Structure 1
Amino acid sequence: MFTLRAISLKLFRASLPTTIVTILTIAVSTCLIMTMMLYSINAKNHMQEQIYQLYGNVDLTAGYNLEQTTYLTTNQLDRITQLDGIEALSKISLAFTSVEGVSDEVYTLGVENDDLVQSRYHHTKDLTNNDVVVSSALAEVLNVQVGGQLQVEGSLFTVREVISFEDIHSEAPKLILLSNDVVKKWMSSTSEGEALFALIKAADKANATELAVAIKKLDDTLRVEITDEDPFVKMNMQSLSIFIMVLSVMVLCITGVLLLTNFQLLLYKMKQQFIIMRSIGASSKQVAKLVQAQLTTINVIGVITGTILTFFALRYGLDYFVAYLQLPDSKQTFLIGPAMIIAFVCFLVLQIFVFIQVQKSLKILPMQLMADNERLDFSFSKTKRFMLKFLGGLALFLILFSRIIPDSNGKGSLVLIVGTLLLCLTLLMVFPLLLSKSLVKISPLVHRLFGKEAGIAIHNIIPQVRSNTSVILSVVFLMVIVIFGSSLMKSIQQTEQEYLNERFETPIIITSSVGYDTEIEPMELADSIDSLPSVDFVYSRGTLAIIELATDQGWEHYDYTTIDINRMLATGHVQSFDGDLSKSVIISEQMATTQNLSIGDQLQLGYFNESAQKTVGIGTFTVGGIESNLGQHADMYVDWSTSLPLENIVFSELFVETSNIEETITSINSLKEEYPEIQVSNVRDSLEQANTMFYQRWGLLVGVFIILITATCIGVFQSLIHYIYTKRHDFAIHRLIGMTPNQLIKLIVSQTLIFIVYGLFVGCTIGIIFTCLLFLIDPAGNSYLDIPMMLLISLGLIVLTVAVFLIQGWFVSRQKLTEEMQDL
């Protein structure tokens, strides 16, 4: 036992430099993952805190404006409370009152004593009819404190609390809160008025927009406002969180490959101690136990170090990074609970690679340890060759099959992904064999073209392909991640830009947030928007439905939708139309060509009757126009006044043409109290938001690339430096037989470059194949292969390799030959 402990201590000392590098690799990866994940959690919490500071627990506000001189009655409040999804309701009255010491009238709210209103205005004291809550801005003007007296409308009230809005509003408002029983008497001369408006909290699973529509149904004159976060901010935060999770998985994958490289190097440095252990009777399980203890310790120390680095990164560095990338604001708080969970997950994933290395150590025999590094062959058995052929054939079959079968429920995409992964795995297994064979073939040619040093380098590399596979794999995985990640991001950017340019037929589009549940009258909304002074014209469009057309072959179904034909004729979006709006249709050019139709032809139309389970005729309609592009992929367009059944068609979009986007949006937003479900988007903000989201994610991706490249270079260069060090005996012999120091440098650089260039070649090849095949999932979308990024990183790795090994080659070539031979 004492001997094993002594050997374990010797192992640690012998491998200290490599151990430190391995720990740093784990620490940096853990720090990167934990920092990104904690930022995502903090940003979500910060966004929720901001919403709470602004609105408290209030989801909806329903009531009237002062100008309407109408007030909520007990009956109305009861009907609202009885709606499904309403959890709490609080009555609010509003008046402008005269306060002694203030020249202007003061904004005065009458509130109830409940948690909802206290969360909205952030006060904690219950109010009697003789109490008042004062904002800090007004208290400062009046120089009053808690317990002081305040005269409002000639009556004295006791100040129960002073509330501050400094963290909520840039300018602190001057307002007071009184009991609702007091204010509602000042507000309304009638006894029926209970409040001017009500604060409403929705149940956890209730949809606030649907509740707003339901409240509007109770009384069209009610003004309903939804107090929700900005949809763009919410969507951006959700997609950013998903993107960060994907990046974290990528970091863990490349870290695992680097660990295999470092672990292999550690075992090689420990081989002498392992030989001694096996020679004195240690079993393979004892060796594996020792390896597992040491590698697990390295993993634990690395994860703990990464956790500590995360603490300092959040406190001192992340603010600058967030500001530079214009990421959503976040409190940089080190959350102990989530941090421990993330650290534990990182440890478990990286422990899988420890397990892989431990399993390798179980097979270690003393003679294998001495011979493994000197194997001169790289060949496959018949079984392995058969498996490679089988996997390659299966991969090609799945890829071709995915192009044939319909992509229903994502089945075609799943088959394509599996086939792509199998093909890349097959290529990854075949390339080392191809490298060994190709190096043998090209060795004479390289010797003639580039000199004997390059020829010797190739000759020396051939037996080392197997032992340096992990080095090559690190570069391969790095290039696959870089090519796929950057190409995907650039493709998404191009696709989104084209989609937005095509989507926005006019600068502003209005949609409904409740989709098919909307009850908006499209013509009524169009008239309301068209009446705004800054609007040039508007036109609306409905959702898609299916219509049946009688042909010689029977009924054929087509998609149809509704449009404002007269408005679109006036604006030129419809070129021509001839016929009765209720009995005429516009068809697409494709439908006209397929059915050999022209303007004036008669169409027998019908619909599928669910109860009768057959198609029933509706009547005869006239082709009033043929259009090539009306913006939506429909085959037939009808006016909103058509006699065709519109049970399955509701309002979808309203397009607004204007030369003053900001003024128009402001005017439209004022209509949200009447139409609470409408969502307004404009082309300028949408393009800016798309660019913001892209550069946020691109910045994160580039940051991860930099860290991955740095970690890969450290691991790969460390392994290659060790490889060069183990070959000092061979280099000394070359010097004895006449090789000059400069030729030796050229030999060392050539050998390392072969590994790096081969890894880059395989990585770029597999990365391009992997990216191009996965782009087939969406053949209609834009696909951009980021060749510049691939070339930039490849060139950078080659230059860095030359620089590093020129230095190492210089040191090796300048060592005294007698000392080298004596040491070795």
Structure 2
Amino acid sequence: MIKSINGLAIGFFKTNKFISFVSIFSVLISVSLIITMAVFSANAKQSIENEVKKMFGNMDLMVGYNLDQNKVVDKRLLTQITSLQNDLQISSVLLTHLRIDRLSSLVYTIGIDNDSLAKSRYHFSSDIAANELILNAGLAQALKVQVSESIQIENRPFVVKEVIPDLDASGATSDFIVLSRFDVKEIMKANSHIENQEATYLLIKAKDNADLPLLIDHIRDIDTELRIDVAQENEFLVSNLSSLRVFITVAMILILIVTSLIIISNYEVVLYKSRNQFAIMRSIGATTHQLFRMVLFQCSIINFVGGVLGYLLAFLSHRFLQVGIEKIYSFPTGAMNFNHMTATIVMLICMIVIEAFMLIPAYNSSKVLPIRIMQENEKTDFSYGKKIPKLGKFMLVGGAIFLVFAVLINGTGPRLLCGLIGIVLLMIGIMRLFPHYLTLTLTSMLPIIKRLFGKIPYIATKNVLPQVKRNTFIILIISFLMIITVFGSAFLKTIEQTNEQYLKKEYSTEIVVKNRVGQGSGIDSSDLRKEISKIPNVVVSTLSNTSQLAIVQGDKFIDLNYTLVDLRQMEKQGLVPPVNDADMKSIIVTEEVSKHYGLAIGDQIVLALYSFTERKWIPVDKVSVAAIMEKIPGNGIFMDWSNNTFVDEYIRFDKAYIQTTDTKQTLVQLEELLSRYPELQISTLEKSLEESQQLFYQRWSIFIALVIVILLSVMFGVFNTLMNNINSKRKEFAILRTLLVTKKGIMQFILTQIMLYILIGCVSGVTIGLLLSYSLNLLEATQVFIDWRFVGIIMIVLFSMAIIVFVPTGMRIGKMNISSELVLDNK
């Protein structure tokens, strides 16, 4: 029966069911993973936009004056800003500190109108009428009040209308209350006799597609002293998203390459096994074009079926995995929509890339002469000549040059482009040189292998050399597995370690006690320090809130932040350098301040404080620089509480650092202080690290699962490819058995080759993975952490699985009938 080219191609799937299944499965998994990562990246971007909305609400700008400017937003200014653009939404907000009678201290107070901007900014839903208030959950718990209950503020009764969550759940947050703007104006008028203040600042929402920079310029034209804050993404989150996108892009490329290599390797086995059939087809008149079409049609079917199934798997896993993760981790994953447009585009790109790689086996199947097919399959020598090494070296040098340019030039776009080109050239260069130097290395090691391990490992290693081209595909697949392992684990480990380092910088000691109440807290730092010091085995130091002073340099007043601290106690805790008693009136500055203003230890400087009555800086004291530190809270100046000149009405207790030898017992006794100081909040480094770790796994659980699935899928492809390679050499093993190699020797021969492939692949993969990770480190300017434990586990799993899979395989091949094996490929 005469069959068409397409009919012959379809017949391939009947005669090679397992290879067909593995190839389709490889495409399915890779396309599914890449679509999932692309959707994950898009959702990560959406989550950052949601984070901005959570922080700022629907506002675009926040306009007002700093407190030290002694200026207010009045009706005239409000009218001028409102008239700048049509459809401009403006919400007036009054900020002050009012006294809650039950606490005998001032609390941060927000006066708002019942409009959508204010509600989105402060996350409440109820309308506030006169003599009603909204407060955060932490303050409600401290006051032990619920909705509909009454509390006294400035000797006036207010009914609790709503209790809202604390705005910052990740750490200590100042308590606050929300009142109607009318009530706040009345109280401020009675207390401060302020008549004309309409707002402390304005929340502004421009119309869609408005030119915000132009609007900001117009607002500055009204008053250049206005402070204008723009609602924008958190830099840390944006940095994480940038790293995530780089990782996903690289991971996508690696997955596509690995998938293509697996399919190509499978087809190399098919072409090796079918060499006689291809030779016969060429002998009876089949053209090279027809063979090319046949193999390409087979590859296209695999590509199409795998791509469509991968799309469906990504959609179903996205839909049901989200519910499963919520149940497993007991946290809401949020609205993560499956973007079908993005998924379809990514699927098509993947299929096009894989199809391009499929041209390789299609071309290999269309050798011009029948005898050449036989020669290529049984080739016993492989020479690279001089062009391949030269080209590889040229690419290595070019990649290094591009990376140097990426480090030196300015601009994110050009740096990223040069960096990616450099990385790609380096990887291609290594891969071009790898087979050449692999052959040279193995050849030079043959005498050592024979001397140390015997004849069987020697023959097994030597047998790798004649067909090094085909074996290189297998080694490259293992290499890419290790590249994904190193690069993926480094990405996640870096994020985890960065979070941990940030927390350790925030927690100078194991226990930190913070003041929950804002300006006007009645806590005396000296009394609190004495109370905490009564706890056994405790060293405590207290810090004030950050305030402002100025360094006098000639006619200039350079304003800086300063913090009052217990220098002697902090010295005992090892938080500051030793300070002499004579230097207790001196200051400690950061390295940044010392370099910027040319300060050195022992320098005498004049400090000034701002006078609101005279509206200017007034020199008040002359001090010396006692020490210079890398970083201090507030990033400015430390001075001791004994500097009474700088203890004014705005200075209050902010936090206490506590060192102890018994954390649990200290926490128990600190809890007793809360009844006397309800405005205190106690937090520990250990608890924060645990919460950070939990948040890390919650936030990245889907991504961690993706990395694990990628590794398992590629590992499956690796062992399938190795198994196909071993099965294609059964005739060679039969010949070895005729030369009196025992069954155990055959098993040792196979295991030696497999271990050799894995070892070389692991070494080259880890090397390229490290190169890739540290090259991207140059672009992102962040420290890279390699998870060597995870890399080691993957390598152990590879070697262990090789023993489990290929020892029985070697024993089974060693038992095969020699006569049958010798004529296996002559059908």
Normalization by structure 2: what TM-score? 0.62
What amino acid sits opposite 1:19 in the alignment? S
C-alpha distance in 2, partners of 1:352/1:462?
A: 28
- Residue in structure 2 matched with residue 319 of structure 1 by the alignment: 323
RMSD, aligned α-carbons: 6.3
- Residue in structure 2 matched with residue 436 of structure 1 by the alignment: 439
Question: Structure 1 residues 76 and 665 mapped into 2: Cα distance closer, same or farther (>3 Å)?
Answer: farther
SS of the aligned residue for 2:740 comes to coil
C-alpha distance in 1, partners of 2:677/2:498?
A: 26
Question: Structure 1 residues 334 and 366 mapped into 2: Cα distance closer, same or farther (>3 Å)?
Answer: same
- Residue in structure 1 matched with residue 544 of structure 2 by the alignment: 538
- Residue in structure 1 matched with residue 746 of structure 2 by the alignment: 744
C-alpha distance in 2, partners of 1:593/1:207?
A: 36
- Residue in structure 1 matched with residue 356 of structure 2 by the alignment: 352
SS of the aligned residue for 1:739 comes to coil
- Residue in structure 2 matched with residue 152 of structure 1 by the alignment: none
CA shift for structure 1 position 595: 7.6
- Residue in structure 1 matched with residue 454 of structure 2 by the alignment: 451
Question: Structure 1 residues 452 and 35 mapped into 2: Cα distance closer, same or farther (>3 Å)?
Answer: same
- Residue in structure 1 matched with residue 713 of structure 2 by the alignment: 711
Question: Structure 1 residues 533 and 742 mapped into 2: Cα distance closer, same or farther (>3 Å)?
Answer: same
Worse-superposed segment, 350-359 or 75-84? 75-84
Do 2:484 and 2:711's aligned partners in 1 also have CA atoms closer than 8 Å?
no
SS of the aligned residue for 1:529 comes to coil
1:315-714 map, 5 Å:
315-324=319-328, 329-331=333-335, 334-361=338-365, 365-394=369-398, 406=408, 408-409=410-411, 421-502=424-505, 529=519, 531=521, 533=523, 537-540=543-546, 562-564=560-562, 599=602, 624-629=624-629, 631=631, 656-657=654-655, 690-692=692-694, 694-696=696-698, 699-700=701-702, 702-714=704-716
What are the superposed Cα offsets for residues 801-820 of structure 1, whole Å, 9 maximum, x if unpaired?
12211222222222233433
What are the superposed Cα offsets for residues 630-667 of structure 1, whole Å, 9 maximum, x if unpaired?
7269999699xxxxxxxxxxxxx999425899999998
What amino acid sits opposite 1:807 in the alignment? P
Question: Structure 1 residues 268 and 88 mapped into 2: Cα distance closer, same or farther (>3 Å)?
Answer: farther
CA shift for structure 1 position 413: 8.3
C-alpha distance in 1, partners of 2:548/2:253?
A: 42
Question: Structure 1 residues 787 and 249 mapped into 2: Cα distance closer, same or farther (>3 Å)?
Answer: same
CA shift for structure 1 position 296: 1.6
What are the superposed Cα offsets for residues 339-391 of structure 1, whole Å, 9 maximum, x if unpaired?
32332232233233224444555555433321222222233212333334444
What amino acid sits opposite 1:564 in the alignment? Y
C-alpha distance in 2, partners of 1:291/1:654?
A: 79
- Residue in structure 2 matched with residue 12 of structure 1 by the alignment: 13
What are the superposed Cα offsets for residues 480-502 of structure 1, whole Å, 9 maximum, x if unpaired?
22123323432443344334433
- Residue in structure 2 matched with residue 730 of structure 1 by the alignment: 732
Do 1:402 and 1:413's aligned partners in 2 also have CA atoms closer than 8 Å?
no
- Residue in structure 2 matched with residue 645 of structure 1 by the alignment: none
Instruction: Determine whether 1:299 maps to 2:306.
Output: no
What amino acid sits opposite 2:628 in the alignment? S
SS of the aligned residue for 1:463 comes to coil
Question: Structure 1 residues 299 and 412 mapped into 2: Cα distance closer, same or farther (>3 Å)?
Answer: closer
What amino acid sits opposite 2:462 in the alignment? H
C-alpha distance in 2, partners of 1:37/1:121?
A: 34
Do 1:560 and 1:635's aligned partners in 2 also have CA atoms closer than 8 Å?
no
Question: Structure 1 residues 76 and 459 mapped into 2: Cα distance closer, same or farther (>3 Å)?
Answer: closer
What amino acid sits opposite 2:802 in the alignment? T
CA shift for structure 1 position 28: 1.4
What amino acid sits opposite 1:761 in the alignment? V
Instruction: Name the count of aligned residue pairs.
Output: 660
What amino acid sits opposite 1:529 in the alignment? Q
What amino acid sits opposite 1:438 in the alignment? T
Instruction: Determine whether 1:285 maps to 2:289.
Output: yes
Q: Kindly, what percent of the aligned residue pairs are identical? A: 26
Worse-superposed segment, 35-44 or 566-575? 566-575
CA shift for structure 1 position 26: 1.1
Do 1:544 and 1:559's aligned partners in 2 also have CA atoms closer than 8 Å?
yes
Instruction: Determine whether 1:813 maps to 2:817.
Output: no
- Residue in structure 1 matched with residue 802 of structure 2 by the alignment: 801
Instruction: Determine whether 1:25 maps to 2:23.
Output: no
C-alpha distance in 1, partners of 2:234/2:776?
A: 33
What amino acid sits opposite 1:712 in the alignment? V
Do 1:585 and 1:623's aligned partners in 2 also have CA atoms closer than 8 Å?
no
CA shift for structure 1 position 721: 2.1
CA shift for structure 1 position 470: 1.0
Do 1:589 and 1:626's aligned partners in 2 also have CA atoms closer than 8 Å?
no
1:162-241 map, 5 Å:
201-204=205-208
What amino acid sits opposite 2:443 in the alignment? V
CA shift for structure 1 position 439: 3.0
C-alpha distance in 1, partners of 2:548/2:268?
A: 64
C-alpha distance in 1, partners of 2:464/2:740?
A: 21
Can you give the 5+ residue segments of structure 1 that lack an aligned partner in the other structure? 64-71, 93-108, 124-164, 169-193, 511-524, 551-557, 604-618, 640-652, 670-680
C-alpha distance in 1, partners of 2:550/2:264?
A: 55
SS of the aligned residue for 1:288 comes to helix
What amino acid sits opposite 1:531 in the alignment? S
SS of the aligned residue for 1:628 comes to strand
What are the superposed Cα offsets for residues 17-69 of structure 1, whole Å, 9 maximum, x if unpaired?
21211111111122223334445656877998999999997889999xxxxxx
SS of the aligned residue for 1:467 comes to helix
Question: Structure 1 residues 198 and 726 mapped into 2: Cα distance closer, same or farther (>3 Å)?
Answer: closer
CA shift for structure 1 position 690: 4.8
What are the superposed Cα offsets for residues 199-227 of structure 1, whole Å, 9 maximum, x if unpaired?
975434679999999999999xxxx9999
Do 1:275 and 1:369's aligned partners in 2 also have CA atoms closer than 8 Å?
yes
Normalization by structure 1: what TM-score? 0.63
Worse-superposed segment, 492-501 or 22-31? 492-501
Question: Structure 1 residues 236 and 207 mapped into 2: Cα distance closer, same or farther (>3 Å)?
Answer: farther
C-alpha distance in 2, partners of 1:570/1:445?
A: 66
SS of the aligned residue for 2:9 comes to helix
C-alpha distance in 1, partners of 2:50/2:784?
A: 40
SS of the aligned residue for 1:376 comes to coil
C-alpha distance in 2, partners of 1:532/1:216?
A: 39
What amino acid sits opposite 2:303 in the alignment? N
C-alpha distance in 2, partners of 1:207/1:794?
A: 55
Do 2:561 and 2:634's aligned partners in 1 also have CA atoms closer than 8 Å?
no
Question: Structure 1 residues 737 and 228 mapped into 2: Cα distance closer, same or farther (>3 Å)?
Answer: closer
C-alpha distance in 1, partners of 2:680/2:77?
A: 27
What amino acid sits opposite 2:304 in the alignment? V
Do 1:278 and 1:365's aligned partners in 2 also have CA atoms closer than 8 Å?
yes
What amino acid sits opposite 1:715 in the alignment? G
C-alpha distance in 2, partners of 1:6/1:486?
A: 46
What are the superposed Cα offsets for residues 263-286 of structure 1, whole Å, 9 maximum, x if unpaired?
433444554443344333343333
SS of the aligned residue for 2:465 comes to helix
What amino acid sits opposite 1:704 in the alignment? L
SS of the aligned residue for 1:469 comes to helix
Worse-superposed segment, 788-797 or 622-631? 622-631
